[in-house]
Amino acid sequence: MKHIAVIGAGTMGNGIAHTFAQSGFHVRLIDISETALTKGLATISKNLDRLIAKTVITEVQKDETLKLITTYTALDEGVKGADLVVEAATEQIDLKLKIFKQLSHVCEAHTILATNTSSISITQIAAVTDRPEWVIGMHFMNPVPIMKLVEIIRGYNTSDAVTKTIMELSRTLGKDPVEVNDYPGFVANRILMPMLNESIETLYNGVAGVKEIDTVMKLGMAHPMGPLQLADFIGLDVCLSILNVMYDGFKNPKYAPCPLLVNMVRAGKLGIKSGEGFYDYASSKKAEQVAKQFLK
């Protein structure tokens, strides 16, 4: 594999593009918004500068990485000739189904189609294509250039050969891939999201305050970041979306989102991205401090 197409220039998409390019792959970063592409490239450049500051890479390596990334606003042009397409669009099932249906028509027969979804069924996504055996999940962790784990999710029809190829590819990126099966939330979010939701329930029930809950988990459980702060970092809308997928998939009340989480999302308090969640991030400096804490 030499040519990779990444759909979506947001947090996950630009991180995936960065990771592939830094490993020497030719990357086509695709988004319908030129503004999003410009912002995505700026983020990649900034993150590469951080690696230079830590003496992980050199200025020359930064330039080489950026030269390997080309941007596109037209999906059919961006995926042309790609060996692998990684979809990292917004976590909305209708959008993902639409994208994969289109990919099925415009990608070449040998192209593997991967999704970075954190909870949506790979089998359901694959079903709208003409190649379900070539569809697989690659759930990268945020921040992608730093985090080692990649959940490799097999859909019901994903072939052994495709799974093996993606596992090996992930290792060439310096990642540690873990193969899991296709059930709501997979492994990471099936365990993480109920914990975050229970932390929100604990706050909702008045057991303790935000800082107190996070302090207990940081000092008592050795978590690098408290669960409420982590929820802010992930995005409360993303947390709600994942919990809804799990609740719909399992029909088990233990996955039902806390009413406080629902109301906060309705009110537009989404965490760092909106400037306010369980914590106040009114200044970009505060948000940067949280990010640095997580990236230590």
State the Cα–Cα distance between residues 117 and 139, nearest whole angstrom: 6
CA neighbor of 116 nearest in space, from 255, 23, 4 = 4
Residue 205 assigned as binding residue:
no
DSSP string, 31-52: -S-HHHHHHHHHHHHHHHHHHH
Residue 17 assigned as binding residue:
no
Residue 277 assigned as binding residue:
no
Residue 11 assigned as binding residue:
yes
Catalytic residue among 18, 47, 119, 139: 139
Q: Are 7 and 30 in contact (CB under 8 A)?
A: yes
Catalytic residue among 47, 104, 116, 118: 118
Q: Active site includes 189?
A: yes
Residue 31 assigned as binding residue:
yes
Catalytic residue among 151, 170, 197, 199: 151
Tell the residue number behind the tokens 């919990």, with chain if given: 243
- For 268, the enclosing helix (H) or strand (E) is none
Residue 195 assigned as binding residue:
no
Q: Are 141 and 149 in contact (CB under 8 A)?
A: yes
Residue 12 assigned as binding residue:
yes
> Which phi and psi (to 5°) does residue 274 adopt?
-105, -5
Long-range contacts of the stretch 207-216 (C-beta < 8 A, 24+): 210/278, 210/279
Residue 13 assigned as binding residue:
yes
Catalytic residue among 104, 189, 197, 241: 189
Residue 224 DSSP SS3: coil
State the Cα–Cα distance between residues 165 and 160, nearest whole angstrom: 9
Q: Active site includes 119?
A: no
Residue 182 assigned as binding residue:
no
Half-sphere exposure of 32 (CA within 13 A, CB side): 5
Residue 8 assigned as binding residue:
yes
Helix, strand, coil in percent for the chain, rounding step 5: 55, 15, 30
**Bind-site residues:** 8-13, 31, 91, 96, 118, 142, 273
Q: Give catalytic residue positions.
A: 118, 139, 151, 189
**Bind-site residues for NAD(+):** 8-13, 31, 91, 96, 118, 142, 273
